[in-house]
Structure formats: structure tokens, C-alpha cells
Amino acid sequence: MTAPFDTTRDHRISRDEAAGLIRAHRAQAAPGAHQATAFNRSAFEHLLAQPGAAGIRIYHARHADGSPTMVMVAVDAQGADLAGANNVCTQAGTDCPPWCASSTWI
């Protein structure tokens, strides 16, 4: 079990650690598997602008055609999803594949 949601946690890691984590995932993934989803800045800003938002949770999800994607929802200071009828959720990112950036740093 993971620790409770911590609004003060520093999530930064080194480039080398990030690359190692990504390489480990790719080594286990099937050929052509979903690798990443890119979101523009406003996706995060819309989530964090909601009253009570203290962070963001990112869910693995699937489009109607079965292709993978990611869905983001804001969370409150206790780590509960802010997913009421009037809350904003975000998706519509740029999935990789097919739209992958150069990853020579990995």
C-alpha cells in the first residue's frame, strides 16, 4: 500500500532516473504498446483551478475503439478524486503511438 496523498511531496527526479524508469517499462511492454500521452499546459491548469484541487490523478483508460489513453482528474488534499457532475476531467491528449516525440535521451 502506498502512503497517503501528500500535498508537500517533491516529485522531481533526475533525468537518469526518469530514463531508467521509462526503459524498464518499455522492456516489459508489448511491441506497439501505449508509451505516453502528452497534454498541453491548459489541461493541468483547468484541473488545478477547480476549488479544492490539491493535485492530479492520472488514470489509464481506453477509447471506444479500444485504443489506450490517459484521463486526468483533480484530487483534493486528502487524495479524493474531484469527479462530481460539475468538475472538469481532462483527456484528449496526444497519444504515443502514433504521435511520439524523439526519445534519444531515454
pLDDT tens per residue across span 3-17: 678 888 888 889 889
Q: 82 with 32: CB under 8 angstroms?
A: no
Q: How far apart are CA 64 and CA 78, in angstroms?
A: 31
Q: Compute the Cα dihedral for 29, 5, 74, 18 and give only its sign.
A: negative
**Is 25 inside any structural domain?**
no
pLDDT at 1 over 70: no
**Is 71 inside any structural domain?**
yes
Q: How far apart are CA 58 and CA 44, in angstroms?
A: 11
C-alpha cell at 39: 497534454
**Is 7 inside any structural domain?**
no
This prediction has a pTM of: 0.81
Average pLDDT of the segment spanning 46-73: 91
Q: What's the structural domain count of the chain?
A: 1
- Where are the alpha helices (H) located in the chain, listed in sequence order? 15-28, 41-48
pLDDT at 2 over 60: no
**Is 26 inside any structural domain?**
no
**Is 102 inside any structural domain?**
yes
Domain of 83 in residue numbering reads as 34-106
**Is 17 inside any structural domain?**
no
Residue 75, strand partner residues: 55, 81
Give the DSSP H/E element, type plus range, for residue 46. helix 41-48
Q: How far apart are CA 92 and CA 71, in angstroms?
A: 8
**Is 28 inside any structural domain?**
no
**Is 47 inside any structural domain?**
yes
